[in-house]
Amino acid sequence: MNRFASVGLTVLFVGGLFLPFASCGTVSKAYRYTKTTVRMAIGGGKLVYKVGEFTFNVVTAPLDWPLLRGEIETIDGLPPKDAIKQGRVKNAPYVVHGRKYVPMSAEEAEKYRERGIASWYGYETRNKPGGHMTANGEAFDPDGLNAAHKYLPLPSHLKVTNLENGRSILLRVNDRGPFVEGRIIDLSAGAAKRLGFYEKGTARVLLETIQVES
């Protein structure tokens, strides 16, 4: 099985939220992390923070919401929602269609940089009642700056550059996938629009882990 390396953010699990703190990376520019809002509630919470010029909204999904990636059979040997509830997701092995995926460790994550094909996913959830949960228990936002990756620790942050038009954005990786041959990352529809490949459906991209300073 091919495995790739990325930087793993140091995170604190509080009230159902993974809070990102300082990490190291391979991109020379350091990005400033600024927490703007934290609201906690019984069984959930919301975090709003900025990395550079990009604002991220992180909401804990109710456990009765379906997983966006319903094909995930187990995480760390447990039913997915049990693993999410116990906080056993970040780089835990998981199974999809009988195949075991082993995410990278923090040590392996230090020099992640990869070129390949990106696609986007999940926009069909926009008009469905209720909501959907990502593989680390967050509410999926089809318009947000979020993405899915098979091997990165959850959550992680990436700089994604569309090599076809030069546009770049920062994304929070909070889900697993894509489970389609030849694709290295799935972006939200909102991220695909900002990178200019929403209509086309796919694009050749460069993925780089970033340095985040608290």
Helix (H) / strand (E) containing 81: helix 80-85
> Domain map of the chain by residue range?
11-213
The model's pTM: 0.83
Q: Which residue has the tokens 């796919």?
A: 202
CB atoms within 10 A of CB 70: 9
- Higher pLDDT pick, 156 / 41: 156
pLDDT tens digits along 117-155: 999 998 777 666 779 999 999 999 999 999 999 999 999
Q: Which fold has domain 11-213?
A: Barwin-like endoglucanases (2.40.40)
Written as six digits, the tokens of 34 are 């600024």
**Amino acid 2: pLDDT:** 42
pLDDT at 29: 60
Backbone angles phi, psi at 41, to 5 degrees: -140, 165
Summarize the confidence of residues 160-167 as an average pLDDT.
Answer: 98
Using CA atoms, how far apart are residues 53 and 97, in angstroms rounded to an integer? 38
Sign for the CA dihedral angle at 142, 145, 72, 138 comes to negative
First to last CA, the chain: 35
